[in-house]
Amino acid sequence: MAQPSNTAMQSFDALYRDSARDLYAYVRTLLHDDASAEDVTALAFERAYRRRTAFDARRGSQRAWLFGIARNAALDELRRRRRSAPLIADLPDEQMRALDEQAEQSLRRATVRVALDELPARERELIALKFHGGLTNAELAAVLGTSESNAGTRVHRAVKKLREACHAPS
């Protein structure tokens, strides 16, 4: 493998420092599984590292490019999971832990977490990309392969559903 230049290394290092936590949060929200999320996050960074010289700034930001790679890896993981045994998510444990907390804030967050987890996968992914990934609508469009206006519309629809789920009686 060709040795990357110092500039490319520094650029990739900066991308990692800036995006790793958000990327994991997005993948974890999408996959509902810690182990799979860790593997997919690591895999996304490996792929991005190998393809870093192929990055084209004209096609979007580095962050959108990285999230696109992670999305493909996460969807491949979902497909593998669909072919194998269905995953029994560890959500109930977290839910129980959250419910055990008495603080109002914790209760509120637990409600949001539950509402988020109960969203359809497409809406949940949009919320994760927007709220955890912090992507702009243009970056979202690049990741999803759609137009910016369509990405905005879909994000707004997903947020609306999330708000409704948060206010729904449990």
Partner 1 sequence: MRRPEQLSPEEARELEAIDVALAGGSVDHDLRELEDLVHEVRATAPEMSPALTARLERLIEHGPEPATDPVKPPGPRRRWVLVPALGTVTAAVVALVVVLGNGNGDSSDTVIQETSGGKDAPALARPGSGGVAAGESAPSAAGRAQSAPAPAASNRPGPAIAPQRRRKVERSIFLVLATPKDKVASTADDVIQTVDRFRGIVASSSIAADDRSGGEATFDLRIPTSRVDEALGALSKLGHVAERRQDLQDITASFDSTQARLDEAGAERRGLLKALGKATTENRLDSIRARLRLVRAQIASARGRMASLQRRANYSRLSLTVRGNGKAEQGDGTWSPGDAANDALRVLAVIAGVALIALAVAIPLALLGAAILFGARVARTRRRESALDAT
Residues near partner 1 (CB under 8 A) are: 1, 12-13, 16, 20-22, 24-25, 28-29, 34, 37-38, 41-43, 45-47, 49-51, 54, 72-73, 75-76, 78-79, 82, 108-109, 112-113, 116, 121-122, 125, 127, 130-132, 134, 136-137, 145-147, 149-150, 152-153, 155-156, 159, 162-163, 166
- Cα separation, 110 vs 101, in Å, equals 9
Whether the CB-CB separation of 63 and 15 falls below 8 Å is answered with yes
Nearer to partner 1, 25 or 99 (CB): 25
Whether the CB-CB separation of 139 and 148 falls below 8 Å is answered with no
Which residue's structure tokens are 């491949």? 76
Q: How far, in Å, are 20, 121, 149, 161 from residue 38 at the CA level?
A: 11, 19, 32, 28
What are the backbone dihedrals phi and psi of residue 55, each rounded to the nearest 5 degrees, phi first? -65, 135
Minimum CB separation from partner 1 for residue 128, in Å?
Answer: 9
Minimum CB separation from partner 1 for residue 80, in Å?
Answer: 9
Nearer to partner 1, 54 or 57 (CB): 54
Minimum CB separation from partner 1 for residue 26, in Å?
Answer: 9
Helix runs in 84-103, H state only: 91-100
Minimum CB separation from partner 1 for residue 47, in Å?
Answer: 6
